[in-house]
Chains A and B, each alone.
Chain A
Amino acid sequence: MAITYDLVKEVTADLYNWSLRRIPESSKAKLREAVATETVPHARETLALMLASAETAETTGRFLCSDAGVPSYTIKIGSRVRMEGDIRQAIVDGFEHLVETIQPPIMRFVTHPLTNERSFKGKDMPLVSYDLLGDVDYMDITCAPKALGGGRWAAIETLVSPSLEDIERCILEMVMRAGGQHCPPVVIGVGIGGTFDHAAKLSKDATLRPFGTRHPDPMVADMEERLTRAVNQTGFGPMGCGGTTTTFGVHIDYASGHGFTPIAVSFNCWINRRTRAKIYNSGVVERIE
């Protein structure tokens, strides 16, 4: 048995479709928590509206946002996976088919970076990154569409032999630059070390972690807690209109590197669109998020 073109085409399109209509469970839990803990009355109202809207989207199948973003996938492939057909093309074709059939329709967001022309397809679209997993017989696919609000504030800075304090200040500066422009409460993903591209990838992957999970390294877990608290002290609040809930969590990961230390920070808006499934060699599809 093998993972086929048809299956990947169908699953990747479904993951994108589903992601547009429901927020992850851990985001819902965080919203509920925040409605109770937020101290600014106006911000509480906004959080309650967010929760009610997310619940409406989920029960009625409506979209969370009019901006469907662009499809972006992280695919981890087990070393025992067998594939049949052109899997890369399957993802492109799945998106093309979805665009033609999805109800309600989505609008054109795929933008040529040099001409600003918009359509439903383009070079490297859908955006996919491939990783290898150990000795397993499945493909682990995460779909996390990215739109302008959640995408444009990502930044990377490379410091030379920084102290922990330097790194944390750098992260907070990037948070200040974004202010409340990215539809907070956001998830913040931080990648530290490695090389430029590696740090960026760590940062992106960190945004995909469900809320409530801690980094296994206690030093990093402690940073996450302290930075989450610090970001919430800025006061930007829901939708940047003031409040104590600016982030639901700062997620950090790091890689060893040389003395130069890239620090990548990326965000995702409160709807935090993300779906995930595993496809096994047997053809079984296990929906995870």
Chain B
Amino acid sequence: MNTSSLRRLHLPLTPDEARTLKAGDLVLLEGEAVATVGMPTQKRMVAEVEAGREMPLPMRGGAFFHMGVCYDEENGRPTRMHYVNPTTSSRFNALMPTLIRGLGLTALGGKGGLSRESVEAMREVGCIYFSFVGGASALLSQGVEKVVDVAWTDLIMQFRLNQIRLSGFGPVTVAIDAHGESIYERIMVSAQARLPDILETLRRPSQS
């Protein structure tokens, strides 16, 4: 795939930059993001936000990804980055509206999308959601320069807050935009609407 013509976004985005994107856009990512796949991590984040405390890494107005990161470490510090890949975001649906609003997040990423409550919070704040291709770790990992910093090292590696630097990460799809448009929602609604027809054609014997 020729990616040279794709728009490059530099993270973190400002809310206004986030609003210039539309669901369906294909882009490459530069800059920094914090990634985790941990449920306990995000519960702890919610507790910190609710207690009015700051995160241990710079996250305010930042990019936050549901993505596993594997790296070597020495004395609790990250050294060589091995690989990354997204995880399913929808299982964190209940926690995300608080995090989006509480931290003013401007970009999210993962796979599978988020629920309407998050889409609403994203519209308020000026935040977009990127779909990363699951299972495409071999290519996506080439777009991660290094693991810059980590926090909450009491957790297992992929559950920590892992701050990564991206360079030409992607291509990734804007799957939810800051105007309330979610590709996932649109597709689910249309699949439901098609179902009666699909069941009808199913009854016809196959042509082959």
Contacts and interface: CB of A to CB of B under 8 A. Distances in A.
- Verify that A and B bind, or say they do not: yes
Interface of A: 42, 45-46, 48-50, 52-54, 56-57, 60, 62-67, 104-108, 116, 118, 148-149, 165, 168-169, 172, 176, 179-181, 183, 222, 225-227, 229-230, 233-242, 269-271
21 contacts: A42-B173, A45-B26, A46-B133, A49-B136, A52-B139, A53-B133, A54-B135, A62-B83, A62-B137, A104-B82, A108-B158, A149-B111, A179-B188, A180-B112, A180-B184, A222-B206, A226-B204, A233-B197, A233-B198, A239-B111, A240-B187
A65 B88 CA distance: 13
Interface string B146-167: 0000000000111000000000
A243 to B, nearest CB: 9
Given A46-B133, A226-B202, A236-B191, 6 more contacts: A66-B83, A108-B157, A179-B184, A225-B206, A240-B131, A242-B187
A48 B113 CA distance: 21
Interface in B156-186: 156-158, 171, 173, 175, 183-184, 186
B24 interface: yes
Contacts of A149: 87-88, 111-112, 134
Contacts of B156: 107-108, 118
Given A45-B26, A49-B1, A66-B158, A241 B136 contact: no
Q: Is the interface of B mostly helix, strand, loop or mixed?
A: mixed
A165 B208 contact: no
Contacts of A269: 134-135
Interface of B: 1, 24, 26, 39-40, 67-70, 72, 82-85, 87-88, 90, 111-113, 131, 133-141, 156-158, 171, 173, 175, 183-184, 186-188, 190-192, 194-195, 197-199, 201-206, 208
Given A230-B198, A233-B198, A56 B138 contact: yes
Nearest to A168: B202
B140 A53 contact: yes
A49 B135 CA distance: 10
Contacts of B68: 66-67, 107
A285 to B, nearest CB: 27
A181 B90 contact: yes
Contact of A239 (B26, B134, B206): B134
A240 B83 contact: no
Contact of B138 (A53, A105, A226): A53
Contacts of B205: 222, 226
B202 A65 contact: no
A278 B113 CA distance: 41
Contact of A225 (B113, B171, B203, B208): B208
Contact of A234 (B140, B186, B198): B198
A172 B39 CA distance: 30
Contacts of B187: 179-180, 235-237, 240-242
Given A172-B199, A181-B88, A53 B191 contact: no
B118 to A, nearest CB: 15
Given A63-B138, A107-B70, A172-B199, A52 B1 contact: yes
Contacts of A234: 191, 194-195, 198
